[in-house]
Amino acid sequence: MNFLIFFLSIFLILTHSFYLSQNDLNLCKSTYRGILKYHQKKDKNEFFNVSAVLKNNTLELYRGSKFFESIDLREVITPLIIFSTNSECLTINIISKDSIVLCCNTEECINNWWFFLTKQILCLNQGEMRHEDDNKTIEDDQYKNINNFDGISINIQEDLDDIPNVSIKTES
């Protein structure tokens, strides 16, 4: 009986790990569709509705049934920015193109699109390492800020209740 339970548990563990590995592969191959409002940041025209299809490495936009624009996710400058003034819109900055604004009817909708786009961008960069060496360490930046070498900095190391009133005057 113990022998049977042992093999059954091994079988269940192997089946579960196989199922999880299959799910991980499918996570990056999903396709998402929806209706969004589109606006180019520098364009003075109003928003207009587009059908959006998020595939493996592109976001395809259609106006009606006609293809309108394709955004290569490898050219998107991250992070994607959700407006603080309108939580139903996000900005996508693209290398060598004008930024675009995409909006939904609800905050939940734009949060989902933010998640889907971010997930696909991460999937495209899976296994790659980013190296952003500008010869500065975090300690150098902190020292520079604390010692006020680069603009205005406020170093608070005490209770927040004891912060003095500060006024800043500049010359124009």
The domain in which residue 72 lies consists of: 32-124
Structural domain contains residue 97: yes
Structural domain contains residue 168: no
Structural domain contains residue 118: yes
Top pLDDT among 50 and 160 is at 50
Structural domain contains residue 39: yes
Structural domain contains residue 86: yes
The number of distinct structural domains making up the chain is 1
Helix (H), strand (E) at residue 145? helix 138-146
Neighbours of 76 (CB within 10 A): 20
Nearest to 31 by CA among 45, 52, 16, 17: 52
Structural domain contains residue 22: no
Kindly state the average pLDDT of the residues 5-11. Answer: 55
pLDDT digit string, tens, across residues 111-162: 999 999 988 988 887 665 554 555 666 566 566 655 655 555 555 566 666 6
User: What's the confidence (pLDDT) of residue 21?
Assistant: 45
User: What's the confidence (pLDDT) of residue 31?
Assistant: 87
pLDDT digit string, tens, across residues 56-105: 889 999 998 899 999 999 899 888 888 877 888 898 988 888 888 999 99
pLDDT digit string, tens, across residues 11-24: 556 554 454 444 45
Structural domain contains residue 114: yes
- pTM, two decimals, is 0.59
Output the domain CATH number for residue 73: 2.30.29.30
As a whole number of angstroms, the distance between CA 12 and CA 16 comes to: 6
Structural domain contains residue 95: yes
